[in-house]
Structure 1
Amino acid sequence: MRFETYHHQKTEEDIIAYWKKNKIIEKLREKNKSGKKFYFLDGPPYTSGKFHLAHAWNYALKDMVLRYQRSKGRNVWDRNGFDMHGLPTAHKVMAKHKLETKEDIESFGLDKFINECIKFSTDMAKIMTEDLVRIGTTFDLSNPYMPIKSEFMEGEWQLIKTAYEKDRLYYGEKVLTWCQNCETALAKHECEYETVTDKSIFVKFKLNSKKGTNSKEDCQNNEHVIVWTTTPWTIPYNLGVMVNPKLDYLKVKVWDESKEGKKSNEEIWYLSKALAGIVCGAVANKKMKVLEEFKGDHMEGWGYTHPFNNFISKYAELKKDHPNVHTVILNEQYVDTTAGSGLVHTAPGCGPEDQEACKPYNIPPFNNLQENGYFPVSMGKFSGLRAKVDDPKFTEALKDEGALIEITDVEHEYPHCWRCHKPVVFRITYQWFFKIEDIKQKIIEENSEVLWVPETALNSYESWVGNLKDNSISRQRFWGTPLPIWKCGNKDCKEIKVIGSREDIKSNGAKVPENLHIPWIDDVKFDCPKCKSKKSMLRVPDIIDVWVDAGTASWNCLDNDPKLIEEWFPADAILEAKEQTRLWFSMLSICSYLRFDKKSFKNVYVYGMLNDIAGKKMSKSIGNIISPYELIDKHGVDVLRYYMCQNNAGQDINFSWDECKTKARQVQILWNLHKLLINLSKENELNPFKLDEKLMNNLMSLEEKYIVSKLNSTLKTVDKLFETYELDSTIQPLEELYLELSRTYVQLVREKSSIGSKEDKELCAYTIAKVLLDFLKVFSIISPFITEAIYLNIKEEFGLKEESLSHFSFPKFDENKIDLELEQNIEGFKRLSQAALNAREKARLGVRWPIKELVVVSKKDNMIKSAEMLRNLLKKHINAKEISVLESLPGVKVSVKPEASMIGKSFGAKSPNIMKVVNSTSAEDIVNSLGKDGYFNIEIEIESKKEEIRLTQDMLVVEREVPELYIESETKGALVYLNTERSEELEAEGFAREVMRKVQTLRKNAGLEKTDSIILHLKCSEAMKKSLDPFEKDISEKVGAEKLVIAFTDAAKKHGFKEDFKVKKEEFTASFDKV
């Protein structure tokens, strides 16, 4: 055989070499090229280096789709791709050359920096390609799509140009999340929320006017509005205070009080009624007296003086043109009483919600943070401080101004940069945006025909898209696809030109650079068609958001070729982790709709996140990351794929080494099955694949019909699951099939396959071969290495033609061979068999010792049918002379008691009534109901009202007193009773079976093959000889004895093999020679 033993690492490497040498996948692509087209769009992994375990999970699932679709004869578009632009690569190159800022990069040389980025990302792509080969994926790895290629960037440019032509691209000023570490704007989908503990502060703003919209009161010197914030760095940018017009607010007097009762520091505070007690008492430790209560709209227009008014001159400038600056404004949407004071610190330059709330009051956004997050010189004493990082210094400044009330810890969700994982801040910045808010409903409607697995992913997707704002697509970095927008540099001219291709550059009279990246693209200058200035049109300095790279993959994977797009687009399937619902999936939809006005994919499979066994996210900082190679080295790729891909769609997986070990043991069972087939065929000198199929089908008994039915029903089920992308659900039925083949069918025919007739042995080999090969064809989709190794052994042994399992079509099921009733009966048979074996164990009676009778007691139709239909099979399997099926066993005394703790837990105060009824009810009635229905209904009366109560099995304690000769054992839906009565005949047969087993062991120890015949002399007592004589023929057949002598004297001559042994107290001597 090609593979005598299975060593996963060596076997897998040999299989990879075999596939490569014989061009297995290339030949399959050629074979299927005229088949129905199937476009699988590979979500591009970032070129960060060696795969982590989640990468391996991702591509194992993807490969299942590719392999299945090819097995159905489809022409599969299977090009892989990579995500390469963006900050991770830029940071790696910066770290290598000790660069910290954009200025450092420019000093280093933009051309050198970009070339270093290209080299790093392509080197990493090569490493990841090796990983893709190692885990057995069948993607076409020869020409991956890469965003760094000019053709790809043109595909993005075409999107930008199309969006511009459709009036869906604009330049605007907005408050955006900003990564000061990466020095660039972030879109909503680029923020990852983490639970953090921050210092929150309660602050008082001193009122200077109460002459507002709804009040004309005089303002005292010591009146304050109380606000709360978790971002102290935003206080310098505060321009308003929000209140909810419909909430109740209080005017309260607060003061400090000494132990002697002396009052000091009296002030008037305004805050919500719901939170006043907590803020004044628990937080500020003040005494409080309510002076007045009113609705929030009473405070609209009240003015206050900012604590930093004396050293931030910008406030006066803003107040001059915008009189509502530093006043109380109204908003229902963003003000509640879940935390804080009920008055919200409002900085319109530090949050889109704040900006929106301030618009009706003509309060402009104010935020002059630099790109690196530092406050500029114009911010006075705060100049040189950094947002978020220097929160304590802003808090200290408030304390110095007498505005700080208290500092408290707060646990909350805070956005972090998805790339560097640092907390983000907010900046008001001019960016380029996709205009999508008015079409997001159309995007959702376009998605209505898409199949989502699981369906919960659809809900997440629609919720995310439904809440999208216009997408900022420009980024202030160097490593990325340059934004293809040129603007006239003449200050009196606002001409804009959007370029969609290299051909556009040529047609506008410029030379196309070999590399479209910065800095070379910035050498391209155009004459302005509007003001006629020469070479005045310069490219804007931004790059495109890296997520737009990924969003254009649906046509860039097709080389942005109109003919290919017409033939293949949209993608038939995409498959990624659930976090991509808000990332790649939504960007695919947005980009596709902007360019083509239609969806970009038809089917989606979503899997979960990878955690450690305790449920914690795998992280380098925690030290709980597991490399895929750690799992591959221990158990192999097949186990990795088998274990990971069974996890429920959309659900997180808590990695378990124990479960991996279980899969490894099961894979070994599969290996042993094919060895069994080959050995069985060799021993009987037959080729199971050349046996007459019609004859074999006619010879089949219940055992064969069962496993063939199981095969066909499994094929039917799994085919449907694959077609509907329920990938995770395919594994269990396949696992059940091969375990049934090994544990049920092989066990049932063990005797028939060893000492049966020639036809019996042929039938067993034929059945195992048929089921095993069809199983391998399907299971190779999941675990391709061991299945291919097994197939190559079978191919070599039996002369099969196909070069590889993958060249077979998905096996067709035969509806006529599916017998679900038989499958159900076998399930009942297995339960009854196990119960009988449990009873034997209680009786300390091994299975070789026949029993007089097994009584099956059941009220369940399915169990009764199993026992009656498979009576002979059950007799044979458990070694019983008779099987009786009864509704009850005569002589069994039954009693039933209520399980007080369970009833009390479920029914509380009703429990005494329930237990009273149970105690007064016939035990037989309760047991009959439990046996038939699995529950027992009773009626109780409480306060003259009758109520029906359902009691389940765990609420009742059933005790049985069994007749002396019987041993009881229970299984779901039935009781079995083993008759322990012994007779001379039963004992004799038991001894005969034990002797057979012992001689077979001696043969094996002597190194004999199953096909070797022996001459056997068996010495025993004279009484035992009489007992064994009737079984002489059976013993001879079972142990392969051409001649057998049973005697109570020693053998007349010396034999080559001799051994003494005991069965119970009887002594035996076996002497034999090989014929």
Structure 2
Amino acid sequence: MKYPTYDHETLEPQILTYWQTNKILEQLREKNKNGKKFYFLQGPPYTSGKVHVGTAWNICLKDMVLRHQRLLGKNLWDRMGYDMHGLPTSQKVMKKFSLKNKDEIEIFGVKKFTDECKNFCLEMMHQMNKDFIRLGSTFDHTDPYQPISKEFIQGLWFLIKTAHEKGRLYEGQRTMHWDAATQSAVAKHELEYKSVTDTSIYMKFPHKDKPNTFFVIWTTTPWTIPLNLAIMVNPTLDYVDVKVGDETWILAKELAGKLVDDVLEGKMQVTKEYKGEELVGQHYSHPLNIKECLPEDLQNNPKLFSILSSEEYVTTEAGTGLVHCAPGCGPEDYEVGHDNKIPPFNCVNEEGYFKEFGKFTDYKAKIDDNKFIEAIEDSGTLVAKEKYVHDYPHGERSHQPVIFRTTKQWFFKVEDLKEKMLVENEKVLWNPITAKNAFHSWLQNLRDNSITKQRYWGTPIPIWQAEDGDYIVVGSVAELEELSGQKVTNLHIPSIDEITIEKDGKVYKRCPDILDVWVDAGSASWNSLYYPQRTDLFEKFFPADAILEGKDQIRGWFNLLMVCSFLAFDKAPFKRVFMHGFLNDIDGVKMSKSLGNIISPKEFIQKHGADVFRYYMCQTRAGVDINFSWDECVVKQRNLHILWNMHKLVLNIAKEIEVNPAELNISEDRLGVEEQYIFSKLHSTVQEVSKLLEEYKLDEIIAPIENLFLELSRTYMQLVREKSSVGEQEDKEVVLYTVYTVLLSTIKMFQIISPFICEAIYLNFKETFSLKEASVSHYTWPEVNKELIDTQLEKEMASAKQVIQAILHAREQAKLGVRWPVKEVVVITQDAEPFTLLQDAIKQQTNVKSLQFKQKFEGVKLTIKPEYAKIGPVYGNLSPQIITQLGIDSPETVVQHIESDGAHIFDINKQTIKITKEMVNITRSAPDGFTGANWKQGAVYLNIERTSELDAEGYAREIMRKVQDLRKKTELEKTDRINLVVQCTDELKQSFKQFQEMMQEKVGAPTLHFTTTTPQKQYDHTSEFKIKDILFTVWFSKT
């Protein structure tokens, strides 16, 4: 045998070598080159280091799709791809060279820095390729798309140029989230929200024209107070003047009590009530005296430090009903300021520090909140402060709190496209449906995307600007060379910035910004196809047939793919989307290095192998997080051992009877009910899994395939145990044919989940049975034979298994092991018809001599106890009457109705009452000489009477098991025969004679002697043991 044992540490690398040495994947690509096209668009992982376990899970899910589509004969476009630009790479390189900010990068050398970034990406890409391939990935890793390549960057320049030509590219000044840690603007889709506890403050702004009168505001961002330029009120709300000591405070009527009574613990005295519109236009003095720090034109603005109207942004949900307005510190503030001709002002620099702003110079926004509060307190205008828990935005990459800055950025104009996007999204097949709903909601609230960053490592935005503001958008290297008259070899900063354009007497220099790395990923739908350098692949494959990513990509990659595709082509870039969740530890806590609960793919593979990783991870429900469990992984590995042992069984039976199952042709009339069942199970499984895959329900396919091979082992092989071990040649041929056929079809499906073990099983079959294909992956997906599907038989088998389990449970209660035969079992059921074909199977599985089916068993006492906790929530006040009625109706009638019809039905006060199995506790007391157990549709009663003949057979079966164990310990082959002697009591010696032939067949002993004394002849092996306090000794030698 090519692969004699299942040891993942040895087997998986061997299979990987076999695939690579024999170019298995390349052969398959060649075989399918004329097949129907299928484009799987790879969502790019970051080349920022080792593969994370979540990324490994993601790549395995994707590989399931690729493998399945190839089995359907599809011609796949499955180009691997990576994210390379942006902050993750920059941070790694900065850390390597101890660089803290842009200034230090410039001292280090921008060219040297970007070269180091490029080298880092390439090094990581090669390592990640190896890691993915070790997991069994069959993506095309030969030429991954790389955003750092000249080809890819030109695909991005094509997008920017197209957006410009469509009037969808503009530069604008906006107040945006800013990540001081990365010194860059942060778009909406790059934010993550965390629950934080901040210090919120109430403070008062002195009325300019009314002494001792104050406008009271509340804020959770004290650092923005120095940048306050106005106060907003809602013109429709009711406001009041409240007397507080010698002062008058202005607040919303609805919120005044909360502040005065609750926060200050004082008694509120209202002196005046009016609408908010009366406050509009009034002025105040800034409590921190910052006016002279403002630009001169702003100091002269007539609306500076005035009350503005805003019905939209002022509510009574929290605060005071007056909202401080800093147009340079928030999009809502910016909007209101813009409407009132108050320009945004923000003196915070890229690193988050206030610059040239009086005493606040070098205070850090957000970080120095307490220092800002101290300044407010020193001014005498702090009213109160309290802890406030809320969700605050953080940078997706830095994980640090963001602030606001007013900066110039380039934007995609997309808000007016969202209705078209919503229509296109309805055509996309999403799994789960919650993902579709979430993306629909995102698109409904779509805003213009900022697309630029102020860093060095990224795709340079292809915009060349003149000093007068005029600009040229370049769409390709060829266009740039034509415009500049210069040869362009390096498209990264700083080399690209050396290229200038002279036109109409003006010199155009490149805008220093780079593109948001999300735009890189957003262009992958055509960049993966080499578009626009090539058009043939785009015309053949676009849009993508399928994509697959985690739930964080609703606002990330899914969003940018849609936006970029609409800008470029006015259509959706994908047809199907599968979304998975995140990976947590066993307690549901997110995995992180700091908590020490992180698991690496390498660690997992060392413990259990890539097959178990794929098998375990890929069954998680779509969109749902998985709480990782090593114990559940052990269960999956145990199942793979069952699969492996089934293939060894095929090889052993084939060797024993000297038959090649691949050449067998068993007619249908030779198939027993057991074979009919397992073939029905096979084809119904193929049908079910094929449908699930077509519907992109990847998370649901593992369970039915798993159930199939476990049924093959646990049900079919148990049912044919006698046939396979001591049956005639023809019987064994049927078993061999059945197990081989079902198992081969199983691994054709299961290979998309656990490819290494399936390939090893196949190669052992190939070697032994002279199969032609070089790999199990070269077969086609199994076809459904609907004529072999017998759903009724499968239901009957399910019922039979329930009865078997109930009988085994009754045996446990009676402390009778399954090797000890039972005289009789009575099965209570309202319909015995389903068991007609399966009586022998039930008897064999449970070692029962006689099986009777009855609707009622005399002597059984039934009691019914209503479950009020289940009845009450359904029927409320009728519950007492229902319980009374259940006491009137006979327990036999109630149970019969429940077990035959699903419910006991009656009327109370003209309302129909349905009592189901869950609403009552049914207790059955078995008659003397029997023990009972319930099954889904009835009960079983096991006759516990013992006879000497029954016990003799029990002893015989226990001896057979002991001898079989000894055969294994002495490493005898199944085909080896032995001479066996059993020493026992004289009484048992006589009783055993009727079981001698059975024992000889079971243990492979052509000669078997029973004796009461020690034999004189010497034997190779001997063993002494007790069964129920009776001492036995066996001797045997190989014949």
TM-score of the two chains, using structure 2 as the length reference: 0.96
Q: Note if contact 2:251-2:321 (Cα within 8 Å) is conserved in structure 1.
A: yes
Alpha carbons of structure 1 residues 1006 and 90: separation in structure 2 relative to 1, 3 Å: closer
The equivalent position to 1:825 in structure 2, one of 771, 774, 796, is: 796
Structure 1 residue 80: Cα displacement: 0.6
Alpha carbons of structure 1 residues 1054 and 487: separation in structure 2 relative to 1, 3 Å: closer
Distance 1:968 1:1008 in 2: 41
Distance 1:470 1:1073 in 2: 85
Structure 1 residue 1056: Cα displacement: 4.9
In structure 2, stretches of 5+ residues that fail to align are none
AA aligned opposite 1:496: Y
Residues 723-746 of structure 1, C-alpha deviations (whole Å, 9 max, x = no match) = 221111010001101111111111
2:371 is the alignment partner of 1:371: no
Aligned to 1:11: 11
Distance 1:1005 1:583 in 2: 59
AA aligned opposite 1:412: H
Structure 1 residue 606: Cα displacement: 0.5
Aligned to 2:678: 707
Aligned to 2:840: 872
Structure 1 residue 840: Cα displacement: 1.5
2:129 is the alignment partner of 1:126: no
Structure 1 residue 231: Cα displacement: 0.7
Distance 2:296 2:635 in 1: 72
Structure 1 residue 771: Cα displacement: 0.8
Aligned to 1:689: 662
Of 102-111 and 905-914, deviating more is 905-914
Alpha carbons of structure 1 residues 436 and 1005: separation in structure 2 relative to 1, 3 Å: closer
The equivalent position to 1:235 in structure 2, one of 200, 208, 225, is: 225
2:853 is the alignment partner of 1:885: yes
Structure 1 residue 285: Cα displacement: 3.3
Alpha carbons of structure 1 residues 619 and 1041: separation in structure 2 relative to 1, 3 Å: closer
The equivalent position to 1:498 in structure 2, one of 468, 473, 489, is: 473
Aligned to 1:518: 493
Alpha carbons of structure 1 residues 45 and 1071: separation in structure 2 relative to 1, 3 Å: closer
Residues 412-470 of structure 1, C-alpha deviations (whole Å, 9 max, x = no match) = 11111111111111111111111111112112212221111111111111211221211
The equivalent position to 2:409 in structure 1, one of 431, 441, 446, is: 431
The alignment partner of 2:703 has SS state of helix
Kindly report which structure 2 residues correspond to 1:562-961, keeping only aligned pairs within 5 A, or say none.
562-692=535-665, 694-695=666-667, 697-859=668-830, 861=831, 864-899=832-867, 911-937=879-905, 939=907, 947-961=911-925
Distance 1:389 1:1059 in 2: 79
Q: Note if contact 1:311-1:381 (Cα within 8 Å) is conserved in structure 2.
A: no
Aligned residues: 1037
Residues 844-902 of structure 1, C-alpha deviations (whole Å, 9 max, x = no match) = 2232332222111124x5xx443333112212222222221111111112222334565
Alpha carbons of structure 1 residues 1073 and 614: separation in structure 2 relative to 1, 3 Å: closer
Residues 758-788 of structure 1, C-alpha deviations (whole Å, 9 max, x = no match) = 0111111111111111111111101111111
Kindly report which structure 2 residues correspond to 1:936-1015, keeping only aligned pairs within 5 A, or say none.
936-937=904-905, 939=907, 947-1005=911-969, 1007-1015=971-979
Aligned to 1:419: 397
Distance 2:638 2:299 in 1: 76
Aligned to 2:258: 278
Alpha carbons of structure 1 residues 622 and 247: separation in structure 2 relative to 1, 3 Å: farther
Distance 1:1051 1:771 in 2: 47
AA aligned opposite 2:114: I
2:135 is the alignment partner of 1:135: yes
2:384 is the alignment partner of 1:384: no
Of 546-555 and 911-920, deviating more is 911-920
AA aligned opposite 2:740: A
Q: Note if contact 2:291-2:299 (Cα within 8 Å) is conserved in structure 1.
A: no
Distance 1:1059 1:542 in 2: 84
Distance 2:138 2:429 in 1: 24
Aligned to 2:64: 64
Alpha carbons of structure 1 residues 828 and 305: separation in structure 2 relative to 1, 3 Å: same
Q: Note if contact 1:304-1:327 (Cα within 8 Å) is conserved in structure 2.
A: yes
The equivalent position to 1:306 in structure 2, one of 272, 275, 286, is: 286
Residues 197-243 of structure 1, C-alpha deviations (whole Å, 9 max, x = no match) = 1111111112225xxxxxxxxxx411212111111111122122222
Distance 1:380 1:181 in 2: 24
AA aligned opposite 1:836: I
Of 287-296 and 971-980, deviating more is 287-296
The alignment partner of 1:438 has SS state of helix
Q: Note if contact 2:48-2:92 (Cα within 8 Å) is conserved in structure 1.
A: no
Aligned to 2:456: 478
AA aligned opposite 1:348: P
Q: Note if contact 2:129-2:141 (Cα within 8 Å) is conserved in structure 1.
A: yes
Q: Note if contact 1:311-1:380 (Cα within 8 Å) is conserved in structure 2.
A: no
Aligned to 2:1002: 1038
Q: Note if contact 2:427-2:575 (Cα within 8 Å) is conserved in structure 1.
A: yes
Distance 2:346 2:31 in 1: 63
The alignment partner of 1:208 has SS state of coil
Alpha carbons of structure 1 residues 1049 and 468: separation in structure 2 relative to 1, 3 Å: closer
Alpha carbons of structure 1 residues 605 and 1007: separation in structure 2 relative to 1, 3 Å: closer
Structure 1 residue 947: Cα displacement: 5.0
AA aligned opposite 2:230: G
Structure 1 residue 302: Cα displacement: 2.6
CA RMSD for the aligned pairs?
A: 2.2
Aligned to 1:333: 312
AA aligned opposite 1:922: S
AA aligned opposite 1:631: F
Of 882-891 and 1026-1035, deviating more is 1026-1035
Residues 914-965 of structure 1, C-alpha deviations (whole Å, 9 max, x = no match) = 443333332223222332344445655xxxx665554444443333332102
Distance 1:1040 1:235 in 2: 92
The alignment partner of 1:27 has SS state of helix
Q: Note if contact 1:488-1:528 (Cα within 8 Å) is conserved in structure 2.
A: no
Structure 1 residue 1060: Cα displacement: 5.2
Of 500-509 and 953-962, deviating more is 953-962
AA aligned opposite 2:159: L
Structure 1 residue 1004: Cα displacement: 4.4
Residues 1032-1056 of structure 1, C-alpha deviations (whole Å, 9 max, x = no match) = 3333333333344456676575555
Aligned to 2:151: 151
Distance 2:598 2:990 in 1: 69
> In percent, how many aligned pairs have the same letter?
51
Of 1046-1055 and 639-648, deviating more is 1046-1055
Structure 1 residue 1020: Cα displacement: 4.4
Of 837-846 and 904-913, deviating more is 904-913
Alpha carbons of structure 1 residues 1007 and 385: separation in structure 2 relative to 1, 3 Å: closer
The alignment partner of 2:426 has SS state of helix
Residues 665-690 of structure 1, C-alpha deviations (whole Å, 9 max, x = no match) = 11111111111221222122222112
Residues 163-194 of structure 1, C-alpha deviations (whole Å, 9 max, x = no match) = 11111111111111111222221111111111
The alignment partner of 2:203 has SS state of strand
Distance 2:72 2:993 in 1: 60
Aligned to 1:2: 2
Aligned to 1:45: 45
Of 131-140 and 1059-1068, deviating more is 1059-1068
Of 122-131 and 245-254, deviating more is 245-254
AA aligned opposite 2:689: V
Alpha carbons of structure 1 residues 206 and 811: separation in structure 2 relative to 1, 3 Å: same
Distance 1:1071 1:610 in 2: 56
The alignment partner of 1:252 has SS state of strand
Distance 2:597 2:893 in 1: 56
